[in-house]
Structure 1
């Protein structure tokens, strides 16, 4: 077919392709930017064709939450539990920074996808292997994740970059009335 362009074959839709495109949309504009219509446009298909692969937007949100969790490093069997939980926490924080919308999604929905179940199994298994009771392992896991989510949200939403903190403090501390807050750094 010299001189003629070969017809392009489009990659067929799959649940994985739909969810990966949804993840990219969420990363670009948050979950509010995610709609079936927009997702269809990004994939070059009519929105209705997406329903063969995902039931609805809730299924997409569940799917992309599970994709995010799949990026978190799992504790390795045999590692000391403290080191394993530390590495898991660092990994979770880094993953959540890459997907700034994910903390809110993970904290607001039940998460029972395959990646979350592997994550829970590995985390609880590591803690149980270290001698934690089921109840204490659950409390420890939730305490760690609460810290990770809170720290990540603070880092994502803090109004100053770390390098601007001293400058911001210099702007706001002089506004405090003298003696009103005696333990403030201004009076040390």
Structure 2
């Protein structure tokens, strides 16, 4: 039986992070984002961006591993104002104590093994250590798998939506919010 764990990402992980993003987006998000968008993903460009994220002091990047394989990743940090602002433009009182989980991606072939939950729980713990009291994330309204995942962790839509234009599709995203005291069962 392989050992599964989550650890902070380093520069040696950025190529695998980029590979996982390309693979997951091509398999799961082509219909949501548009085929041209996902076909245009370049693992080299993404690796350069992930390299910066891994080094950024306000960003926590984690990788999930099963045995010697990197199977997923998660990115979190303090939530920027635009991610917590209400639809009417006001900031909630806890804006400076809110963390953002920017992404949780696990390769489909490694799915249903708890990697996503371990990634989210690790990110939530780190956000609490940074002083965050709750978390937010954005999920495409049509992404039933991600919505189900976050709802299973107790994160639910808070009524705020945003619309993104990918150049090929318009994507409606729901903001979900939840507690950071996640425990793995």
TM-score normalised by structure 1 residue count: 0.29
Higher relative contact order (CA 8 A, sep 6+): 2
Question: Which of the pair has more CA radius of gyration?
Answer: 1
TM-score normalised by structure 2 residue count: 0.29
